[in-house]
Amino acid sequence: MPTGIHRSRLRDHFRALLQLNHLRVTPERLIVFDEICSLQTHFDADDILARLKQRHAAISRATVYRTIELLEKYGVIRRSKLTGVKSHFELTLERRHHEHMICTSCGKVIEFESKGIESIQQVICREYHFTMTYHYLHIFGICDDCAKR
Amino acid sequence: MPTGIHRSRLRDHFRALLQLNHLRVTPERLIVFDEICSLQTHFDADDILARLKQRHAAISRATVYRTIELLEKYGVIRRSKLTGVKSHFELTLERRHHEHMICTSCGKVIEFESKGIESIQQVICREYHFTMTYHYLHIFGICDDCAKR
DNA sequence: GTATATGCAAAGTATTTGCATTAGG
DNA sequence: CCTAATGCAAATACTTTGCATATAC
C-alpha cells in the first residue's frame, strides 16, 4: 500500500489491494478495515471486536481474526507482540519511512532517515530471497542531554 | 548482570542474582537457566521444554514458565517482539549482535549480521551525539519458501 | 521449622479451524 | 453458478493458577 494516503482514500486502496489479489470485497472486510484505520494506536483483535460491537456491526470473531491475518499478510498492518499473551497490531501507513533512536534514560525518541540502511537492506533481502514488506530499526542508548547530566 | 561473561561463570552470576533477591537456588532454576544459556538463538517456552525432555530432565511446564518470567523480570532475558502467537525470548548477554528477518507468513526467523548497518549506525549516533547501548533491526516480509507457495 | 518452589491438573485466554450456509464476481 | 468468505461452535495453542507436596535455607 502506498504511503502518505489521505484517510478518505484508504478504503479505495484497500479495495484495490483485494481486487489485485483476487480476493473478495466484502462488507465485513471493509468495516474491519475502516475500524482499524480509525484507531490511532496499537490494537489487538479484541479492541476491534469491542468497537464493532459498540457500533452494532455484527461481525464474527473468526472474520476479524481472518481479516487481521489478511491485512498482515499484505503488509497493511504489522504485528508486534508487546505483552506476553496477545498480539498487537499497528497500521503501516508510514508517512515516510524513518528509524527510531530511543533514549533509555529520558525516553526521548529521535526519528531519523537513512538512505544507507535502506540500500543495505535491499542487498540483504536479495541475498536471502526475502520479500520485505516493512522494517524497523530501533537504536537504544543515551541521548546527548542525559549524557551531560 | 554484567555483560561479556565467560559461559562457565554465567551460572554463578545467576546464583548470585537469586541470592541477592532472596530467591531460592533450586536445581530446576539452574537447569532451565543452563539450557537457555546453551541455546544460540531466540527461544520460546516449548523449545526449553523439548530440550529438557531430551536430556531427561523432568521439569514441569509450570516451572519453566515461572523461571522464564523470573528471568525476564530481572533482565536476564528479554521478550522480543517477533511474529506469531508465542512469546520469544533472547538472552541479553553473551550473544554476538545480529539482526532479524521475520516471515509474516510462516513465522520463520532468519538471523543475519551486517557490518554495513553497524557502521551506518555509528555515523548516525555521532551525528546526534547519541551513545548507543544496543539496537535491533527487524525486517518483516515473505520468505523464499512462502513466496513459492 | 517455615516459607518458598515445584508438579500436576484444571482453568483461563487467545487464536484457529471444520463445516454448513451465504454471497461476491 | 461457482468458489471464496462468513458465522458458529468446537478444537487447539499458549500461559497462568490453585493446591497439595517437597525442599532450600
- Residue-level pLDDT at A116: 86
Which residues in chain B have their CB less than 8 angstroms from residue A138's CB? 135-137
Q: How far is the CA of A49 from the C1' of C15 (A)?
A: 14
- Residue-level pLDDT at A96: 60
CB–CB of A139 and B135 under 8 A?
Answer: yes
Separation CA B84–CA A46 (nearest Å)? 16
Residue A2 pLDDT more than 60? no
CA angle B17, B19, B24 (to 5 degrees): 110
- Residue-level pLDDT at B2: 42
Residue A10: name the closest of A66, A79, A92, A98 by CA.
A92
- What is the average per-residue pLDDT within A12-26? 92
Q: Does A66 contact strand D, using a CB cutoff of 7 Å?
A: yes
Q: From residues 92-111 of B, which are strand D contacts by CB within 7 A? A: none
- Residue-level pLDDT at A110: 76
CB–CB of B81 and A78 under 8 A?
Answer: no
Residue nearest to nucleotide D9 (CA to C1'): A62
Residue B136: name the closest of B99, B106, B84 by CA.
B99
pLDDT in tens, A127-145: 999 888 777 787 777 778 8
Residue A123 pLDDT more than 80? yes
Residue A43 is given by DSSP the state: B
The ranges of chain B with pLDDT < 50 are 1-4
CB–CB of B87 and A103 under 8 A?
Answer: no
Say if residues A33 and A77 touch (Cβ distance below 8 Å).
Answer: no
Q: From residues 81-110 of A, which are strand C contacts by CB within 7 A? A: 85-87
Residue A99 pLDDT more than 90? no
Separation CA A72–CA A91 (nearest Å)? 9
pLDDT in tens, A49-92: 999 998 888 899 999 999 999 998 888 888 865 555 677 787 87
Per-residue confidence band for A3, with pLDDT thresholds at 50, 70 and 90: very low
Q: How far is the CA of A120 from the C1' of D13 (A)?
A: 37
- Residue-level pLDDT at B97: 74
Neighbours of A65 (CB within 10 A): 15
pLDDT in tens, A26-40: 999 999 999 998 886
**What does chain A come to in residues?**
149
Q: Which nucleotide, over all strands, has the C1' atom closest to the CA of A26?
A: C24
- Residue-level pLDDT at B7: 58
Separation CA B126–CA A59 (nearest Å)? 51
CB–CB of A73 and B104 under 8 A?
Answer: yes
**Residue bearing cell 536430556:** B55
> For residue B117, which phi and psi values (nearest 5 degrees)?
-65, -40
